[in-house]
Structure 1
Amino acid sequence: MRECIVVGAGAAGMSAALTLGRARRRTLVIDAGQQSNLAASGIGGLLGHDRRPPAEFYAAGRAELTAYPSVEVHRGVVAHGVQEDDGSFAVTFSDGRRERARSMVLASGMDYRYPRLPGMDERWGNSVFHCPFCHGWEVRDRPMGVLAEGAVGVHGALNLRAWSDRITLLTNGSELTDQHREQLAVGGVGLDERPITGLHGPGAELRAAIFADGGELPIGALLVKTTLYQRSTLARDLGASLTEPDEMLSVEAIKVDAMTRTGVPGLYAAGDAATSVPPSMAAAMASGYLAGAAAAVQLAAGY
């Protein structure tokens, strides 16, 4: 039996594994290869790795883990998980392989769900994005749109003014209140409530939003309201509690305490999967370290 299974090999999962490896704990890291930011051209805002291609970052992380003989990285997808009567955890892979461990860290990231408009997928993570702190610098000073409704759209548009003075809120057919209209006017933000049919531009570049009436709005970047959901039922299967997405945060996160404990003995969660605030690589790495340290302490205490 392993001492810890880490589900996920993104920034949080590898950070947890590195901490466990340095504590000489027998650890299995399960990498499904589904890191959410692989589509991005670079990592934004991670000290020491700013603008580094995500794939390069993950390759370097996996290489660092090889220095610790107690850590093994396995490529695969977890299909099912259960807590045994003795308190240990068992996971079954999609290929039928089964592994057990005394503790587990859930760090499988999130499923990012955004409006599936024509032209959006090929621009996602670059000129179309959900986090201005991760991508705003790269598209600074371009005319930008914000695709969202209600208060969250107004908030996002006003915040985006730090990167450009040409911002337009696109509500895609949804109407705003008079109060929201006034906020936008005072902030110098444009408003277009027409339904959108797609995005246009050469290759992966964004040049314009296309409306149902045939009109276009010239923009070079688009901030999109995105809801984050758990990629699998693993957290629920193991008895962890989840938050409910709300209008502003829109995150279905695993509930954890300050030390990433889920409330299920021996079960920890880190990274995007357990964040109730906008996700980031920096926050994921920090929470992964905490999860690894907390699991190592639990294992040392023998419970």
Structure 2
Amino acid sequence: MLHDAIIVGGSFAGLSAALQLARARRQVLVIDAGLPRNRFAAESHGVLGHDGKPGALILAEARQQLQAYPTVKLFSGRVSRVDSGEAGFVVEAEDGMRWFTGRRLLLATGVADVLPEIPGLQERWGQTVVHCPYCHGYEIGGGAVGVLGAGPMSVHQAMLFADWGEVTLFTQGLVQLSPEEQALLAARKVKVEASPVAGLLGASPALDGVLLQDGRRLPLKALLVGAQVRMASPLAAALGCAFDDTPMGPVVRIDPWGLTSVAGVYAGGDMARVPHSITFACASGVAAGIGLHALLVMQEAHSGETAPA
């Protein structure tokens, strides 16, 4: 069948977009690979009405609610290719056995975190090695915490994190501090450590401290890592979408309603904005879903088409 919209990516942004379109009684297909970015974290925090719930539970409840709308279909799998077709877009599932057609396409495929190659870091990701103080800081409960330097944004991160613990900024040879920045860090009681972190200590996922390159060991309860990100899927690039550079990595360029530089292609969630959180992703998905619906309506009105029943 011809769907009004195919949404690739069924995490927070994709499902939020689908909900808006479902409530407009549009035929929507959501294709999801089942690998949300926050799957490494046991709980999700700072999400109004869902504080402390596992992200997987929030998504399961959202899918259940969506399935109450008769015009929504959910498909589990990956997308290998998207082509422009006569009616809009043709989407091929990775198994090569299924093809789906849609008048419009909405990408919510997210990003992947590019983590530093430091022993002990990967296995603690989302637990005691975190990317967002607003998502994890309260649960750390104070004490000695660290910020792993990656670039200019690390100073800002260290200053923020000082509200959640006693911060040491590890410059890692990547952060060059100006006199003004040194003064700002001192005002926030942030210590600065020039010797790079060589490894993380303790029984994972707990963190006892870090081993420095000069052989010293410093006790830490948690480490904030402002990881760079990359697109989790090649689809946006393959379709020719324009990108913008940010301090965290590339994002797909969109207008305020989620429209990319490619006609008929929308994007939402972490792949299309910074900073990142569940709440931001949901809001971005809502905007993209509404934007896609509004454009469908206008084009139908101008062409004399009738919206599908």
TM-score normalised to the size of structure 1? Answer: 0.93
Structure 2 counterpart SS, 1:116: coil
CA contact (8 A) 1:82 1:237 kept: no
- CA drift of 1:250 comes to 1.4
Compare 95-104 and 228-237 and name the one that shifted more. 228-237
CA contact (8 A) 2:20 2:289 kept: yes
Match of 1:270 in 2: 268
Quick one: distance in 2 between partners of 1:9 and 1:174?
36
Quick one: distance in 1 between partners of 2:242 and 2:235?
11
Quick one: distance in 2 between partners of 1:216 and 1:119?
14
Quick one: distance in 2 between partners of 1:61 and 1:150?
37
Structure 2 counterpart SS, 1:99: strand
- CA drift of 1:76 comes to 0.7
Match of 2:252 in 1: 254
- CA drift of 1:150 comes to 4.3
Compare 141-150 and 70-79 and name the one that shifted more. 141-150
Q: 1:285 aligns with which of 278, 282, 286?
A: 282
- Where do 5+ consecutive residues of structure 1 fail to align? none
- CA drift of 1:175 comes to 6.0
CA contact (8 A) 1:2 1:26 kept: yes
Match of 2:170 in 1: 170
1:90 maps onto 2:102 in alignment? no
Match of 2:117 in 1: 116
TM-score normalised to the size of structure 2? Answer: 0.91
Q: Which amino acid aligns with 2:95?
A: D
- CA drift of 1:215 comes to 1.4
Alpha-carbon distance change, 149 to 234 in structure 1, aligned in 2, over 3 angstroms: closer
Q: 1:298 aligns with which of 295, 298, 301?
A: 295
- CA drift of 1:78 comes to 1.0
1:113-153 Cα distance to aligned partner (Å, 9 max, x none): 12121111221112111111111111131210000144322
Alpha-carbon distance change, 283 to 150 in structure 1, aligned in 2, over 3 angstroms: closer
Quick one: distance in 1 between partners of 2:44 and 2:81?
31
Match of 1:139 in 2: 140
- CA drift of 1:44 comes to 1.5
Matches within 5 A, 1:41-120: 41-84=42-85, 86=86, 88-96=88-96, 97-120=98-121
Matches within 5 A, 1:8-23: 8-23=9-24
Structure 2 counterpart SS, 1:252: strand
CA contact (8 A) 2:154 2:175 kept: no
1:44-82 Cα distance to aligned partner (Å, 9 max, x none): 111001111011111111111110111111111111112
1:94-118 Cα distance to aligned partner (Å, 9 max, x none): 1012211000111111111121211
Structure 2 counterpart SS, 1:263: coil
Structure 2 counterpart SS, 1:15: helix
Structure 1 counterpart SS, 2:290: helix
Compare 184-193 and 201-210 and name the one that shifted more. 184-193
Structure 2 counterpart SS, 1:229: strand
Compare 148-157 and 35-44 and name the one that shifted more. 148-157
CA contact (8 A) 2:28 2:73 kept: yes
